[in-house]
Structure 1
Amino acid sequence: MKKVRTVLPILIIVNILCMIDTSIMTIVLPEIQTAFRTSLNNLSWALNIYTIIFASMIIPFGRLSDKLGKNKFIFTGLLIFGIGSLLTGISPNLPFMLVARGLQSLGAAMIIPTSMVTAMELTDDHNRNKTIGILAGSQGLAVALGPTIGGLVAQFWGWRWVFFINVPIIVVILLIFNLVLPLKKELIQKTVNLDWLGTIVSMLVLSSFSLALVQGKDWGWGSFPLISLLLTALVAFIAFILIENKVANPMINLELFKDRNFTGSALALVICNYLLGGFAVIIPTFLTKVYHHSELSAALLITPYSIAVMFSVIFSSLAIKKVNKKIMLATGFILMGIAYYLLSKLNLDHGSLPLIYAGIVLGIGYGIVASTANILAASNFHGQLLTDSNSVANVLRQVGMVLAIAIFTSLLTNNVKTAKANLIEYGHRQVAELQIPSVAKRKLNQTIKQKLNPNINNISQNKETFNKTHLTIPARKIQALKDQNYQLAIQQTAATKGITSDELPEPLKKQIKIKVDQIVDHKVRAETTLISTSIENFVKKFKRMIKHQLKAAFLKVYKTMIWIPFLSLLVIPIFQFKKRH
């Protein structure tokens, strides 16, 4: 146990570093988008590629570590992750960043499953649940803390330090690593035979399925490329099952799924991480785009949620031996359902407390479910099955995050497109009722259509949308009006005197000219003021409608998903809990 106390802090830190990078980018995406001058759609791949590669490689790397040595594997993973973090931070453009993020993800996939198994191998049966709970909880906490830490770092040092900050920490860990986990004379399993065919096929399943989920909103769910990817994933999955049933040393021992606790935990982990991802991906954007919070302000508002996850994980890990596990899982899912109900009704117009309450409830619920499911997933296994159970559990957590990124952003994109279409229709209808010149109406309608184009993937309320929309009467038109009125005044004056216009004295003409110009200028100012006031009132009203529609688009996502945590209660009967005697 003394050895575990020395090793566990290092493993916790590296787990947090790896998992925090699955969500830390969400809060700084707008800054990076501006820096790279790219669309938010393209930039989302910097987030997606990390999750996809991580999910695809975590199982084969878990097996490969047994053959090469777990300590060496973790050390190498840290080195790769550190290099990837440095390269991501110095990225000059998006393609460079995608490659660097992929390198980061490879390092993380080497570290996570190997560190989990290393910790459990050093732990006795009596303390195993506590160790699993601490490591799994640290991973969930890291995902929850990602946007908060990202916002804090970006506010003071810029978005690049969101990635640079990993480098000094990793350097320190690498320097002391050999003192804690010796690289020499490490016991390895020379007889481990890798199932390369199963590995390749599993990667094909995960990568094609993940890519389909991520791209569905852009390609269209009925498009040929998307259907092809889903069919590829399905065929590869069936092939994977057949391969794993026949090979002597399968990559995943399918015996795992004969254990009801593991099967139940697998479903629970996918669901709770899906619900976690729905919060981590959507809320930062909601705060910055709808309510115009800074990254730092948004980060601070999410912090109570992160703290709730931390304390919930600690409590659940300690309470799992004393509290009925069915009650714990049910409580966790119900709390997440309540949180989604609160999120669907979120109103921050009078303060941020509703978000803080919803975040705390969600954090507590997630911590209970994730901690309990992680412990139960490995509760009946030892040796290679223990390694496999943790690798698969980690994959399923990532599958939940990929599902959240794909489905929540897809729903949000569709909701925003609908909101924009509604706003355009509403705007044109309101403009038609304004008592302003037709040229001003055309200008307003053009601005509305341009700024709220449903085909442009932009979810910003954009405070500057109508700031430059005002009527200016061209100088040539004003001069023409003055000339016209001057000629009319000259003719009228000459007629009253019984002479022609040419016979009027020049001084009198100048007086008439000055007076006419003054009258026209006064009328133009009055008319312009009246028109500008009408336009200003319309713009204020329309901006309120934009905020209302965008807010509804975000909250509708949670209304659509509110049934999932409650339906998840059906997972609980799958578990087979041992009765205490």
Structure 2
Amino acid sequence: MTTPAAPAAPRIPEAVHRRRWAILGVLMLSLLIVVLDNSILNVAIKTISTPAPTGLGATQSELEWAINAYTLVFAGLLFTAGLLGDRLGRKKVLVGGLVVFGLGSALAAESGSPVQLIVFRALMGLGAAFVMPATLAVLMNVFERDEQPKAIGIWAGGVGLAIAIGPITGGLLLDHFWWGSVFLVNVPIVIIAVVLMLALVPDSRDPRPGRIDLVGVALSVVGLVLLVYGIIKGGQLADFTDPAVLGTIGAGLVVLVAFVLYERRSDHPSIDIRYFKNKVFSAAIAAIALVFFALMGVTFFSVFYTQSVRGYSPLQTGLLMLPLAAAQLIFAPRARLVVDRFGVRAVTTGGLVLLAAMLAAFMILDADTPIWVLEVVFFLMGTGMAHVMTPTSVVIMQALPREKAGSASALSNTFRQVGGALGIAVLGSVLSTAYRSGIQDKLGLLPPGLRHTAGESIEATLGIAAKLGPRGDALVGAANDSFLHAMHVTALCGAGVALASAVVTALFLPGHAPEAPVEESTEETVRAGR
């Protein structure tokens, strides 16, 4: 009589398995502050652009850099941060990232100039780059395979929660405290997260970590910074034919081409260029990048519309943006059911067409449009996004073997961040150029020095109009009219980008999600020690 074989021991140590849901809560808290910070900043940019002592008097180009400094560092270091976590241990990297993020937040809150804010935002991006990939890697190591989909769903829900509560939190803080409070609020959350992390989360690492591609990282960051700088500078000067602008943009493109060529030949690339031979994968990645290109650009100018033109407070602006987040929370979990019925191509393309239509709808908004119209536009934008992000994320993960899931996820995050950065740079520059062109003729009575400053943004014009007293009243109406024209032009450009993305998905995405490729088994060790 043969003795039945004993069941295989679980891959996760029992002590870790028992506290897995508490660990997930700590990971979500870490993720929450990284995502929350950007959504909080969305309602604070108008306040930061206000002259001192209320704000920093940041110009539109400086505001764009305050946002993009974070995004570019985050996107540029995402792969390297993941590899360092594999090599040094995910818990160590995660705690280190949180500490750097908290330090950057405290310094950003005390910034005395726009330049200091930009530098400290870059430091926050450095910390965030080490937090984001480590949270998902730790999650995959504390849950057994059958519970991983549920855990990842809850983890992803944290992003939607942060998008929803960020603007409201920012509005409440700005109603009662100074602008730096939107950054300082991160510090106590970071302290709590670090303490819980040290107490609950086990460490883990890859027994066969990849080599770090320092050359590739340097080329990608330098190329993106040069490209974005040139685009923002062109908007600031309202002249994209300026030799310095063309030279900077050209240099950025040359460096990015060198990055692609280097990655193709490297035996340890940051980005495996071979993935993009898969047309389905490339189309899905492009759709995500272009969606965030349009979304981040629209979010940037919509805050000035609600606060500068319509006169709403930061808190009211946060509440007005709730439909955008609510639609994503409602429809994103259910989008898979729609995909099952109609297919990936139809749902994704339809979502992008809806998004394009809502971007174009900004052209009907003026200074006295009923505010419920904006709410409907935001809700339908969120609906469109939900039906783009869910199916494309599934396609990206299923287009590659499971052992490449980490790389696929990192690529998705990287292109989302880069798309958002370019959206703010390009659409922000379009907004700045169109605004300066519209207001320039109305600034003839101002001294030459003030004339250039007043033409940079609506906040700059309104700030100078306030200093002029009754003589500046005529500038207020002119500033509102010029901004609305610039917003309409920018929204039309965003709609065009969304439509271009719809064409890409209609041509290259499959009717239904592709079958998962053959997997290769890979094992990863988990250490239960704290």
* TM-score, with length taken from structure 1: 0.75
- 1:118-197 equivalences under 5 Å are 118-120=138-140, 135-136=155-156, 138-139=158-159, 142-143=162-163, 146-183=166-203, 186-197=204-215
Task: Name the CA distance, whole Å, in 1 between partners of 2:504 and 2:145.
Answer: 26
- Native 8 Å contact 1:338 1:361 kept in 2: no
Q: Which has the higher contact order (CA 8 A, sep 6+)?
A: 2
| SS, match of residue 302 in structure 2 | helix
**TM superposition shift of 1:288:** 1.4
RMSD: 3.2
Q: Which residue matches 2:289? A: 270
| SS, match of residue 105 in structure 1 | helix
Q: Which residue matches 1:7? A: 23
- Native 8 Å contact 1:253 1:385 kept in 2: no
Q: Which residue matches 1:77? A: 97
- Native 8 Å contact 2:171 2:317 kept in 1: yes
Aligned mate of 1:212, from 227, 230, 234? 230
Q: Which residue matches 2:375? A: 356
- Native 8 Å contact 1:213 1:406 kept in 2: yes
Aligned mate of 2:273, from 254, 257, 275? 254
Q: Which residue matches 2:354? A: 335
Task: Name the CA distance, whole Å, in 2 between partners of 1:133 and 1:261.
Answer: 23
Aligned mate of 2:487, from 546, 554, 571? 554
Alpha-carbon distance change, 210 to 266 in structure 1, aligned in 2, over 3 angstroms: same
**TM superposition shift of 1:25:** 2.3
Task: Name the CA distance, whole Å, in 2 between partners of 1:2 and 1:374.
Answer: 30
Q: 1:145-182 CA distances to partner (integer Å, 9 max, x unpaired)? A: 54443222211233221111111112111111134421
Q: Which residue matches 1:417? A: 436
Q: Which residue matches 1:230? A: 249
- 1:360-371 equivalences under 5 Å are 360-371=379-390
- Native 8 Å contact 2:297 2:494 kept in 1: no
Task: Name the CA distance, whole Å, in 2 between partners of 1:245 and 1:543.
Answer: 54
Q: Which residue matches 2:456? A: 457
Alpha-carbon distance change, 317 to 116 in structure 1, aligned in 2, over 3 angstroms: farther
Unmatched tracts of structure 1, length 5 or more: 425-444, 471-538
**TM superposition shift of 1:141:** 5.7
Amino acid at match of 1:305: L
Alpha-carbon distance change, 446 to 22 in structure 1, aligned in 2, over 3 angstroms: same
Unmatched tracts of structure 2, length 5 or more: 1-16, 516-530
Greater shift after overlay, 146-155 or 310-319? 310-319
Alpha-carbon distance change, 379 to 116 in structure 1, aligned in 2, over 3 angstroms: farther
Amino acid at match of 1:551: L
- Native 8 Å contact 1:215 1:406 kept in 2: no
| SS, match of residue 28 in structure 1 | helix
Task: Name the CA distance, whole Å, in 1 between partners of 2:400 and 2:101.
Answer: 30
- Native 8 Å contact 2:394 2:513 kept in 1: no
| SS, match of residue 21 in structure 1 | helix
- Native 8 Å contact 2:85 2:205 kept in 1: no
- Native 8 Å contact 1:147 1:284 kept in 2: no
| SS, match of residue 193 in structure 1 | coil
- Native 8 Å contact 2:293 2:423 kept in 1: yes
Task: Name the CA distance, whole Å, in 2 between partners of 1:240 and 1:329.
Answer: 30
Aligned mate of 2:335, from 316, 333, 341? 316
Q: Does 1:106 align with 2:126?
A: yes
**TM superposition shift of 1:446:** 3.1
Task: Name the CA distance, whole Å, in 2 between partners of 1:13 and 1:372.
Answer: 26
Alpha-carbon distance change, 50 to 211 in structure 1, aligned in 2, over 3 angstroms: same
Q: Does 1:199 align with 2:133?
A: no
Q: Which has the larger radius of gyration?
A: 1
Greater shift after overlay, 162-171 or 549-558? 549-558
| SS, match of residue 368 in structure 2 | coil
- Native 8 Å contact 2:72 2:225 kept in 1: yes
Amino acid at match of 1:469: R
Q: Which residue matches 2:85? A: 65
Alpha-carbon distance change, 378 to 126 in structure 1, aligned in 2, over 3 angstroms: farther
Identity, % of aligned positions: 22
Amino acid at match of 2:245: L
Task: Name the CA distance, whole Å, in 1 between partners of 2:84 and 2:357.
Answer: 42
